[in-house]
Structure 1
Amino acid sequence: MAVSNQSSKSNDNANNPSLTLSAIRSDISSPHSPFFVGKEFLWGAIAGAFGEGVMHPVDTIKTRIQSQAILSGCQNQKNILQMVQTVWKADGLAAFYRGITPGITGSLATGATYFGVIESTKNWLEKNHPNLSGHWAHFIAGAIGDTLGSVVYVPCEVVKQRMQIQGTRNYWTSVVMKDSARGKLGSPVYGYYSGLFQAGCSIWKEQGPKGLYAGYWSTLARDVPFAGLMVTFYEAFKNVTEHGLQRLFPNSNLSMNSTLEGLILGGLAGGLSAYLTTPLDVVKTRLQVQGKTLRYNGWFDVIQKTWSDEGMRGMFRGSIPRIIWYVPASALTFMAVEFLRDHFNEKVDDGRLEGATSISVDKKSSSLPKAA
């Protein structure tokens, strides 16, 4: 009987093309389908790696600015222009791209897990726990995606940041290691890293898993609030923009193009969130770049010593390059999400499945990826 019913259902579907097409659309757009999840992982990995590759020189300057207290003490710290000049004079263009391989590797992991996990988690929360819908669903889903990605991201971040502050071999061995030999307080004591694999093996041999996962909790403490704030600000900016257009043009249906909206408002949301979470980024960076000679014993110690030695300015070191990094990265990410959503909807509405992207984002509560 079961076989007969199944056969009958297959015949009905074959005789009803619209029903079959509808079922295919439903399967493709379902956040639980392999097609959907696989595409989400792919798009997220590409977006994360692209953003890291393009903005890596800015991240290098930010890392060096935030690490000055460890390398050279708290006095006479350089600003952005001075740091750019110092890096260029000492190491040339190559120094700005030191650590790009572990940076891209970590961004591949975080981008893939964020895209691949957040939509299905958000939909599951909204379906099974309606009281957690909206911003809470985004926040929790983002936290889960960040946590899963951090297993790969944090070791890559440790390697990346140590390679960024090292610059060329000549600079590291002739300047920094000499200071370490003189017993200068806080100077990191580790050899020069020639690449991702060699650096990982060296850190594991000298410090074990504790070294590779240095600053793990501070990384999560930075990224979870950042993801929540970015989504919240973006949705708030969208509501303000819509309200403003209605006030200015009350008798029209004028609205901002969603792709342009993602570009402008996404950049603003990312930049503001990046600035507010800069103190958490300072804590993470300083914990990860120190070596066996520990200047800081945990993130509370980083906060206390940074505040005592450098004040509020120290807590927000690197905020400008951090904003410079996140504004274009977030703008492009939000723009892509809005564009892909509209593109996907257009394909389905026209009855064409060729080339349809798997991103599925609600207009009222879009789910957004993490920037690097």
Structure 2
Amino acid sequence: MAVSSSTSTSQEKQALGSHSQAQFFVWREFVWGAIAGAYGEGMMHPVDTIKTRIQSQAILDGIQNQKSVLQMVRSVWQADGFRGFYRGVTPGITGSLATGATYFGVIESTKKWIEDSHPSLGGHWAHFIAGAVGDTLGSFVYVPCEVMKQRMQVQGTMTSWSSMMMKDGISKSGNPRYSYYTGMFHAGSSIWKTHGLKGLYAGYWSTLARDVPFAGLMVVFYESLKDVTEYGKQKGMLSLNWHVNSSLEGLVLGGLAGGLSAYLTTPLDVIKTRLQVQGSTIRYDGWLDAIHNIWAKEGVTGMFRGSIPRITWYIPASALTFMAVEFLRDHFNERVGGNNLQEVARLSVDNKKSSLQEIS
């Protein structure tokens, strides 16, 4: 009987190990993360265009002539029509494919590795680090796409951009000096020829300074909201007959987590945007100089400029993304890991029976 018990224990460990390995790397997480990220960007790109223009208008038009959200929407529509809201959508979707894939593809494996190998970093610290690592990996593709996207967003039509460049030549107002981009590849090649790799990665560190805390905070808020929801269920605060599909739960909680994280990191987004759109005429000499100048000239209002369209973008984008991921976990993880879990459960019962027989 001792041999039988040992064999069962060995089989159980083997089944647990294979299940752990299957959960450590799930390629579906990368695919669905990429699709969800691209879908969210495509749907919410017009809002992102308004946010980018609002945050960068201090460079383009001067501090005294800055427009409100409604004024900017009207201005884009009058100058460029519906197409104006989708300027830069191709590099935007390309960057979101990369960040969506790495964020959700890496986040689960990183989080579980931290919790298993470094228990002291478990809980919210594990969630924060996992989100930060996943987003950092995507930044190598995302940042060049973000530079191209934002420059295309602020240019508008070729006529309006040419007119602005002529005014810049006369008034020396400090507007960015770069050619009009007809598409993503033209933008990339033009930036490369003019500024090289440094131009494509303009504002890279400011992007990380924004995205690392944003990505980490979003996971922490999401997991915390899930804990609060579960606590409410256990304490009877929610009706026992009340059941919410996990995809719908991901939609609501993901939206709340994304919106809150977006608002708290708006100042970092303002700095990043202005560094990336300023072009050849340098107005801000680095991250710290940008903080000093924006705070001195525009105060709190300047630091949080564009917060409304930023939140408006992130709430539905985050909601759709988390909903897709929860849907994946519900439907695909069960198929992948269901057999192993049943095998582990069966082996555990057999192991207990063998131990009881051995004692008797």
Alpha-carbon deviation of 1:256?
4.2
Alpha-carbon deviation of 1:228?
1.6
Instruction: After superposing the two structures, state which structure 1 stretch, 67-76 or 135-144, moved more.
Output: 135-144
Q: Which has the higher contact order (CA 8 A, sep 6+)?
A: 2
Alpha-carbon deviation of 1:180?
1.8
| 1:303 pairs with one of 291, 300, 305 | 291
Report if the CA contact (8 A) 2:32-2:328 is conserved.
no
Say which SS state the counterpart of residue 339 (structure 1) adopts: helix
| 1:188 pairs with one of 160, 176, 195 | 176
Alpha-carbon deviation of 1:347?
4.0
Question: Who wins on radius of gyration, i.e. which is larger?
Answer: 2
Alpha-carbon deviation of 1:245?
4.6
| 2:22 pairs with one of 14, 19, 29 | 29
Indicate the residue corresponding to 1:237 in structure 2: 225
Alpha-carbon deviation of 1:66?
0.2
Flag structure 2 segments of 5+ consecutive residues without an equivalent. 1-10, 341-360
Say which SS state the counterpart of residue 218 (structure 1) adopts: helix
Letter in 1 for 2:19: S
Alpha-carbon deviation of 1:217?
0.5
| 2:42 pairs with one of 53, 56, 60 | 53
| 1:317 pairs with one of 286, 305, 328 | 305
| Higher percent of residues as helix | 2
Rate the CA distance shift 1:338–1:39 in 2: closer, same or farther, 3 A: closer
Indicate the residue corresponding to 1:273 in structure 2: 261
| 1:75 pairs with one of 64, 75, 87 | 64
Indicate the residue corresponding to 1:62 in structure 2: 51
Say which SS state the counterpart of residue 152 (structure 1) adopts: helix
Letter in 2 for 1:217: W
Rate the CA distance shift 1:250–1:48 in 2: closer, same or farther, 3 A: closer
Report if the CA contact (8 A) 1:179-1:187 is conserved.
no
- 4+ residue segments displaced more than 6 Å: 22-25
Rate the CA distance shift 1:134–1:248 in 2: closer, same or farther, 3 A: closer
Matches within 5 A, 1:154-193: 154-174=143-163, 176-193=164-181
Flag structure 1 segments of 5+ consecutive residues without an equivalent. 1-17, 353-372
Matches of 2:183 and 2:337, distance apart in 1: 49
Residue identity over aligned pairs, in percent, reads 70
Matches of 2:91 and 2:151, distance apart in 1: 11
Deviations along 1:315-341, one digit per CA (max 9) or x if unpaired, are: 111100111111111112222222322
Indicate the residue corresponding to 2:351 in structure 1: none
Letter in 2 for 1:168: T
Letter in 1 for 2:50: I
Report if the CA contact (8 A) 2:147-2:276 is conserved.
yes
Letter in 1 for 2:293: K
Indicate the residue corresponding to 2:331 in structure 1: 343
- The two structures have a TM-score, normalised by structure 2, of 0.84
Alpha-carbon deviation of 1:189?
0.3
- How many pairs does the alignment contain? 331
Alpha-carbon deviation of 1:23?
8.7
Say which SS state the counterpart of residue 30 (structure 1) adopts: helix
Alpha-carbon deviation of 1:99?
0.4
Deviations along 1:291-318, one digit per CA (max 9) or x if unpaired, are: 1101111111111111111111111111
Instruction: After superposing the two structures, state which structure 1 stretch, 62-71 or 308-317, moved more.
Output: 308-317
- The two structures have a TM-score, normalised by structure 1, of 0.82
Indicate the residue corresponding to 1:330 in structure 2: 318
Alpha-carbon deviation of 1:268?
1.0
Matched, 1:94 2:60: no
Rate the CA distance shift 1:105–1:350 in 2: closer, same or farther, 3 A: closer
Report if the CA contact (8 A) 1:158-1:288 is conserved.
yes
